[in-house]
Amino acid sequence: MKNLLIILCLLACTSLFSQYVPIDPITLDASTTLSISGEYIEKQFNNALEAIQVIAKIPDVQKANWVVIKEYLLPLENKLPATFFFAQPNGNYYTLENGFTNINVTGKEYFNTCLSTGKTVSAVTDYNRITGEKNFIYVVPIVVKNKVTGMIGFAIDLEKYSQEFDKLLSLPKNFIWFAVDAKGINILNTNSELIFQNILTDATESMKTQFPYVFNHDQGAILFEYEGIQREALFHKIESLNWWLILARADEDQLMVTPLLNVSLENITRELKAIIDNANNELADKINRFQPNVKNPDAIRSMLNEIIKDNTLYYSAVFTTKKGVMQIIEPVEFRNFEKKPIPCLDYLKPMEKDVSPYFTNIFKAMNDHTTFMIVHPYQPKRKFEGAFHILMRPDLLLNSITKKMNFSESEKLWIIQLDGTVVYSQDEDAIGKNLTKDVAYSNKHLPVFSSIISNDNSSEPIHIKIADTEMIIEWQTIKTHNKTWRIVLTKNK
């Protein structure tokens, strides 16, 4: 009965997530809009935190059993664009979406702080390399007899939250808004590229000059230049988060709307090739510069960290022994996979004889994401000792390119291996299909599939009539080491 009452109280509390909404903010003046908006964000985040703090004290939850904890977290699942999770003291990690993830978070500062202090860790920024999300994390310890037996928390997807909040505000086109923390880090911004950018070091000169003033006041007004336009701005401090919410206005006649680029197969191919070439060159450079001793795990880990630290498009970096055992993996969330065989081993035996870099087929990697690898052999003193790998997800690579382009509903992008396997498609169900075997699918979506595989490029777009629809198909090629990809663009006219 006691637990039932707690649950009812919890649900009453968390219902505030959906009920607490600003009252038509655009009908109000800018200062009031800013104040109400800050209060809205603060209440949403604090309500979620209070909810998991209540959950962490429920006797059933204190047994640290995921099956039980999951039932208490489920009512919160749709309240925020967030991942709700449970972590064991050994770092193993469960989420509502995936259950046991085989991910380990012992390398995360928020985990170690919560575990060592037994206190709530609030408002920690973190880039999740596994999901590609920029997160804001809260963690609450489960404490039994002064011992932390686990922790529950949530990681807010800042990009999605910014998009949802922007829709809620429905500001006129001459307004922008964003939120920054006391260090100058963009936390919320409708331009996802700017989230985690430091406004004190990476913004315009006028912003660098004006924002130190902001951080010394709870509210006020400033002028700054952004995107070549002078803007009048109000700011308001969100006290519990130690953020400042900014609402800035520009004269409408000064606005310069940057349109999305037209879809260009040539540009997509060029940018994708540049990303892959950069990864290939960086791996070669790091091996040459570090030359780590294979018997020194710390030296190897240091090199792998150096590879991934500044590139969010790299899913993981791995060193395997010559038998294909993953000796060291970064980021450390993948530590549970260390000492296990790498999922794709077809290159190792040939590499030992022909010591050359290798580009793998796609395969399901850690956490079940579709991945490919660039692999460089490691042979200090001309002795083959294993290989270094950069793992990348095709979906994250292509999304980083295509989000700048104005794709229509009828335009589809494909990447296909020469064996017919779909590496990437906006139709996620197509990824991994082999079009040489799934003839019905290829006839419907890529009716000139055999020509695509046989020829490096289409020379000029090919027009195909299917029933009452005309399909236009063009393709180009990327070649890296032993591998060839066809980059295909289709459009229904």
Does 39 lie in the same domain as 122?
A: yes
For residue 465, the model assigns a pLDDT of 84
Contacting residues for 297 by C-beta, under 8 A, at least 6 apart: 327, 328
Does 311 lie in the same domain as 233?
A: no
- pLDDT tens track for 8-17: 334 434 443 4
* C-beta of residue 391 within 8 angstroms of C-beta of residue 371: yes
Give the chain's radius of gyration (CA, Å). 25
Burial, 38: exposed, middle or buried (Cβ in 10 Å; 0-12, 13-18, 19+)? Answer: buried
CATH of the domain at 338: 3.30.450.20
Q: Average model confidence (pLDDT) for the chain?
A: 88
Does 206 lie in the same domain as 282?
A: no
Reported as a pLDDT band with limits 50, 70 and 90, residue 261 is: low
- Mean pLDDT to the nearest integer, 396-422: 90
Does 7 lie in the same domain as 153?
A: yes
Domain region containing 282 = 265-394
Q: In this model, does residue 258 exceed pLDDT 70?
A: no
Does 385 lie in the same domain as 348?
A: yes
For residue 7, the model assigns a pLDDT of 40
Q: Which two tokens stand for residue 29?
A: 């003046």
For residue 255, the model assigns a pLDDT of 58
- Mean pLDDT to the nearest integer, 232-257: 85
- pLDDT tens track for 274-289: 999 999 999 999 999 9
Q: In this model, does residue 410 exceed pLDDT 60?
A: yes
Instruction: Indicate the residue among 133, 159, 185 that finishes a domain.
Output: 159
Q: In this model, does residue 418 exceed pLDDT 80?
A: yes
- pLDDT tens track for 346-363: 777 777 778 899 999 999
Q: Is the pTM value of this prediction over 0.75?
A: yes
Does 249 lie in the same domain as 228?
A: yes
Q: In this model, does residue 67 exceed pLDDT 50?
A: yes
State the total domains in the chain: 4
Asked whether residue 259 is assigned to any structural domain, the reply reads no
Q: How far apart are CA 341 and CA 323, in angstroms?
A: 8
Does 79 lie in the same domain as 115?
A: yes
Question: Which residue is it, tokens 């039980």?
Answer: 68
Does 226 lie in the same domain as 124?
A: no
- pLDDT tens track for 99-138: 999 999 998 999 999 999 999 998 778 888 888 899 999 9
Does 351 lie in the same domain as 202?
A: no
Does 309 lie in the same domain as 199?
A: no
For residue 32, the model assigns a pLDDT of 86
Lowest pLDDT segment from 107-111, 238-242, 443-447: 443-447
Question: Which residue is it, tokens 């309240």?
Answer: 79
DSSP result, 420-460: SBEEEESSGGGTT-BTTT-HHHHHHH-TTHHHHHH-S--SS
Asked whether residue 399 is assigned to any structural domain, the reply reads no
Does 70 lie in the same domain as 189?
A: no
Does 270 lie in the same domain as 247?
A: no
- pLDDT tens track for 360-393: 999 988 878 899 999 999 999 888 899 999 999 9
